[in-house]
């Protein structure tokens, strides 16, 4: 089992819809979770972090964490074509410094 698993996609949604991206992790002791956005040919950019069970909202983005089920999700409301990118889930291993990334989910938002 991979430490961090994501569906590679692509996930296609129409403009204005809600995009739901999911991630599961294997280390039950994980305490921090991160979502990065990566445009093609560009570097990853942190968009959300979550540490506690439940929801965390930031603008159109909501991160959801369920430690009992070992999954973390990212919801993007009112999806825009500019949201088209690969979304990477990351979990620290052995401290806060070493991030383990999933393979990423490619999101395509069509106008």
Partner 1 sequence: GAGVSQTPSNKVTEKGKYVELRCDPISGHTALYWYRQSLGQGPEFLIYFQGTGAADDSGLPNDRFFAVRPEGSVSTLKIQRTERGDSAVYLCASSLNAARGNTIYFGEGSWLTVV
Write the binding mask 30 to 69 for partner 1: x where contact by CB under 8 A, - elsewhere: --x---------xxxxx--x-x------------------
Task: Return the half-sphere exposure (C-beta side, CA atoms, 13 A cut-off) of residue 86.
Answer: 18
Query: Other CB atoms closer than 10 Å to residue 41's CB: what's the count?
Result: 5
Stretch that binds partner 1, among 11-19, 58-66, 75-83, 97-105 (CB under 8 A): 97-105
Contact 25, 1 (CB under 8 A): no
Residues that bind partner 1 (CB under 8 A): 4, 8, 32, 42-46, 49, 51, 88, 90, 94-104
């Amino acid at each position: 089992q991979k430490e961090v698993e994501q569906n590679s996609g692509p996930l296609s949604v129409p403009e204005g819809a809600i995009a739901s991206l999911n991630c599961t992790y294997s280390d039950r002791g994980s305490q921090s979770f991160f979502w990065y956005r990566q445009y093609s040919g560009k570097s990853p950019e942190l968009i959300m972090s979550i540490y506690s069970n439940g929801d965390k909202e930031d603008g159109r983005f909501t991160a959801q964490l369920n430690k009992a089920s070992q999954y973390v999700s990212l919801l993007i409301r009112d999806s825009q074509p500019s949201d088209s990118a690969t979304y990477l889930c990351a979990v620290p291993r052995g401290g806060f410094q070493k991030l383990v990334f999933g393979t990423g989910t490619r999101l395509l938002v069509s106008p």
